[in-house]
């Protein structure tokens, strides 16, 4: 089987190969720049530099009396570990990102660790195309939008390419090697999902080098975290591999409320025979955060209030949001003969969610609100499987990379009886305390809906010559959705079959540059009327989306850049003036997505990205027709810099800024959320302590303590996170 190694020689698939940096792909890629993940930048003030330097050294100094500390030479470039060159493209298989006719963004484990990111929004805060819709301290979880389109919580998240349900929950980032975001439609590549995109989490697995890592961390207000990561290959010729990861988080959040999170994962693999590998992995997490807010909404005629401080707790101290997730996956990979491979995989996810949190309705322009306690228990289940064959065929001078197969994904929502209890009246300008009614959360469950999608797909990547190639892909989807009444009877059934084509042309006049045009169609699941609407629980049939994209990707020595023009067309769902959630009309998004990275000598790295967007609703409802799409900023931008101090080897400073423009909160544009700009600074120090690698990190996010609103779906608001400090020490044995 062809080995998959990254451009810096590190194996991306240690399960299948014995880390041979001299293989064909490694030789082809060696010597090209590994620049950084799209990020942010900030001019560091002398005070900030002094504080961060003190923070990094303070950890080292605690060890100085008993051990020897020696600074360790860092990476060859400031950004080399942030740049990914190979990624999964679903049904298209694993490809070099330069050869994919789509926009793909990758957060590597090094970037995630250096940013001390805890959510997917933080992991991609350097990509201007990815914007936060919520946060998992002030709100229930970290929701994101890609190019203004919310990621589908039922079908938009994958683990190793297979679907996993994340209904108001977050996957623990510590267990994953990298996260890949496919921007836009995924119809052929991944099948059924919204046009926002796909987030694919790649599981950490045993590599050829042993892994023994322990880290401890601290965050505002008094959050703490401990993690252990152990990986080994063993047996004859390293036949077996095992990677185990465990995380515990506790303490008090910046809302002065408790948090507790425990997660553990294990990934096992065995080389059954040459070219035949079986993998098995599992992940479990239980997370409970107090003081979280279900959402804040505005009564009719009420103006948008000014944003509140992110550290102000709007909910009661007895409220909480708790989720558990349990996932298991297995895959068999077989190199049948020559270039022909087979992959057979299955993944199951089970999730529970308990709401005992506040819902605020602002009733007047003075900031007065009614506070309700939402009590709700629910379950979400998903199962997915795929069978994929891939190989190469030669027809004269023309070569073909062929893939074909089938997949299935099923999602099920099981709800409990919903409880809504009025607590009292408060005001956004002050803390208000109410007594805990002490009511139970009803755990009597009934099935609300289930969906099933079976797909059959095939594609041909045709290499006409050394410069020109084209992709022809076709997926047939058979989609069924059932909705149920409280007594278990079926209330609605939707069945739809559709063909989803993917067409693309790629021109590579040189090995380091590619121009492409692509067209994709996709099906997405219809929405469900939210709690605040009069037709709550009503579900709608699937929608069809289309995407057109033209772009360029370029890699140079010490720099890289990409740009994409795109247009997305999809069906429109919104809450009308009668407070009824409906599916009617259409909307379009078009824009320009650009990003670039540059290394200035050995010490400086700069990264930047920006997205220009224009969106428009088309509807028979005059209050919505021609208005901007909700939660879409016309302009977002991010800039980041990293500086390796040449006089103190191992010390790196970083800084960034991120701008998000104004957004419409609802489809009728009744409220416009103001723009905001965030600044971050950080420092890390890599050293040898007693002969072992140690990395000290400190990050200060939202340096200026900007107050801002995040607009979530259906006109809900969540306060943005305040200034937060994170510090950690990582020990590698």
Q: What is the pLDDT of residues 179-194, one digit of tens each?
A: 999 998 877 777 767 7
Contact 1, 275 (CB under 8 A): yes
pLDDT for 255 beyond 80: yes
End-to-end CA distance of the chain: 32
Grouping H, G, I as helix, E, B as strand and the rest as coil, residue 704 is coil
pLDDT at 345: 96
CB atoms closer than 10 angstroms to residue 278: 16
- The tally of CA atoms less than 13 A away on the side-chain side of residue 311 is 13
Q: What is the per-residue pLDDT for 71?
A: 42
Q: What is the pLDDT at residue 173?
A: 97
Pairing mode of beta strands 340-362, 293-298? parallel
CATH class of 32-621+632-668+677-732: mainly beta
- 6-12 own/partner pairs: CB under 8 Å, 24+ apart: 6/84, 6/85, 6/86, 7/32, 7/34, 7/83, 7/85, 8/34, 8/80, 8/81, 11/207, 11/208, 12/86
Tokens of 311: 């550290």
Q: How much is the mean pLDDT over the chain?
A: 86
* CA–CA dist 631, 717 (Å, integer): 11
Residues 321-334 have a mean pLDDT of 97
Q: How does residue 47 score in pLDDT terms, banded at 50, 70 and 90?
A: very low
pLDDT band, residue 41 (cuts 50/70/90):
very low
Q: Which residues of 553-572 are buried (b: 16+ CB within 10 A; e: fewer)?
A: bbbeeeebbbbbbbebbbbb
Is the predicted pLDDT of residue 60 greater than 60, yes or no? Answer: no
pLDDT above 70: residue 42:
no
The kind and range of the H/E element at 330 are strand 320-337
Helix H segments across 21-79?
Answer: 24-29, 46-63
- Confidence (pTM): 0.88
Write down the domain spans for the chain: 32-621+632-668+677-732
> Which pLDDT band holds residue 522 (cuts at 50, 70, 90)?
confident
- In this predicted structure, what is the pLDDT of residue 72? 43
Residue 377 has pLDDT above 90, yes or no: yes
Q: Average pLDDT for residues 456-479, to the nearest whole number?
A: 93
Q: Which residues contact 197 (CB under 8 A, 6 or more apart)?
A: 146, 147, 149, 151, 156, 181, 182, 183, 184, 186
Picking from 200-214, 488-502, 626-640, which range would have the lowest pLDDT averaged per residue? Answer: 488-502
Return d(Cα 127, Cα 129) in angstroms, integer.
5
* Weakest-pLDDT range from 3-12, 562-571, 579-588: 3-12
251 Ramachandran zone, left/alpha/beta (phi>0; psi -120 to 50): left
The residue-averaged pLDDT of 416-426 equals 93
78 — pLDDT class (breaks 50, 70, 90): low
Helix (H, G, I), strand (E, B) or coil at 35: coil
């Amino acid at each position: 089987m062809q080995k998959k190694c990254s451009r810096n020689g590190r194996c991306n698939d240690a399960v299948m190969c014995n880390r041979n940096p001299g293989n064909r792909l490694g030789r082809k890629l060696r010597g090209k720049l590994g620049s950084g993940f799209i990020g942010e930048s900030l001019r560091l003030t002398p005070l900030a530099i002094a504080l961060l330097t003190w923070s990094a050294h303070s950890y080292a100094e605690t060890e100085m009396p008993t051990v020897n500390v020696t600074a360790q030479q860092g990476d060859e470039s400031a950004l080399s570990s942030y740049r990914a060159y190979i990624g999964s493209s679903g049904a298209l298989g694993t490809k070099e990102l330069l050869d994919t006719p789509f926009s793909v963004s990758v957060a590597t484990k090094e970037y995630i660790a250096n940013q001390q990111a805890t959510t997917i929004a933080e992991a991609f805060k350097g990509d201007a195309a990815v914007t936060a819709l919520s946060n998992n301290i002030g709100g229930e979880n970290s929701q994101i939008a890609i190019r203004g389109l919310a990621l589908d919580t039922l079908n938009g998240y994958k683990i190793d390419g297979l679907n996993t349900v994340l209904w108001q929950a977050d996957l623990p980032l510590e267990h994953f090697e990298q996260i890949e975001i496919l921007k836009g439609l995924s119809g052929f590549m991944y099948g059924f999902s919204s046009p926002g995109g796909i987030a694919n989490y790649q599981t950490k697995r045993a590599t050829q080098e042993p892994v023994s890592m322990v880290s401890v961390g601290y965050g505002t207000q008094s959050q703490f975290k401990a993690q252990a990561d152990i990986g080994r290959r063993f047996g004859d010729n390293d036949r077996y591999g095992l990677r185990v990861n465990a995380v515990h988080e506790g303490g008090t959040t910046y809302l002065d409320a408790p948090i507790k999170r425990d997660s553990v994962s294990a990934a096992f693999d065995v080389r059954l025979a040459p070219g035949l590998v079986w993998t098995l992995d599992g992940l479990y997490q239980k997370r409970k955060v107090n003081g979280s807010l279900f959402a804040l909404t505005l009564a009719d005629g009420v103006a948008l209030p000014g944003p509140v401080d992110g550290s102000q707790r709007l909910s009661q101290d007895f409220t909480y949001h708790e989720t558990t997730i349990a996932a298991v996956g297995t895959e068999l990979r077989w190199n049948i003969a020559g270039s022909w491979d087979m992959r057979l995989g299955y993944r199951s996810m089970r999730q529970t969610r308990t709401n005992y949190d506040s819902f605020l309705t602002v009733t007047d322009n003075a900031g007065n609100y009614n506070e309700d306690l939402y009590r709700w228990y629910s379950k979400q289940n998903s199962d997915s499987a795929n069978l994929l064959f891939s190989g190469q065929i030669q027809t004269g001078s023309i070569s073909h990379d062929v893939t074909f197969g089938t997949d299935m994904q099923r999602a099920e929502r099981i709800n409990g009886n919903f409880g809504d209890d009025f607590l009292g009246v408060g005001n956004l300008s002050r803390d208000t305390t109410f007594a805990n009614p002490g009511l139970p959360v009803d755990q009597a469950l009934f099935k609300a809906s289930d969906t099933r999608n079976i797909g059959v797909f095939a594609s041909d990547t045709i290499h006409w010559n050394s410069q020109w190639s084209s992709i022809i892909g076709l997926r047939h989807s058979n989609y069924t959705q059932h909705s149920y009444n409280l007594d278990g009877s079926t209330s609605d059934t939707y069945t739809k079959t559709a063909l989803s084509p993917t067409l693309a042309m790629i021109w590579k006049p040189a090995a380091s540059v590619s121009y492409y045009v692509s067209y994709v169609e996709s099906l997405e699941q219809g929405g469900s009327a939210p709690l605040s609407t009069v037709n709550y629980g009503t579900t709608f049939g699937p929608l069809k989306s289309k995407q057109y994209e033209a772009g360029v990707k370029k890699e140079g020595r010490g720099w890289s850049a990409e740009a994409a023009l795109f247009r997305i067309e999809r069906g429109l769902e919104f809450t009308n003036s009668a407070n009824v959630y409906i599916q009617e009309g259409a909307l379009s998004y078009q824009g320009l997505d650009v990003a670039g990275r540059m290394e200035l000598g050995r010490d400086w790295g700069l990264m930047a990205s920006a997205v220009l967007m224009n969106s428009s609703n088309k509807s028979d409802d005059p209050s919505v027709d021609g208005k901007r799409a909700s939660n879409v900023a016309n302009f977002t931008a991010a800039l980041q810099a990293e500086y390796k101090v040449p006089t103190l080897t191992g010390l790196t400073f970083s800084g960034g800024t991120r701008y998000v423009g104004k957004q419409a909160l609802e489809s009728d544009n009744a409220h416009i959320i103001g723009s905001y700009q965030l600044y971050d600074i950080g420092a890390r120090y890599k050293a040898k302590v007693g002969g072992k690698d140690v990395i000290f990190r400190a990050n200060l996010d939202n340096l200026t303590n900007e107050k801002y609103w995040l607009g979530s779906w259906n006109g809900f608001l969540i306060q943005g996170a305040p200034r937060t400090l994170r510090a950690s020490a990582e020990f590698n044995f």
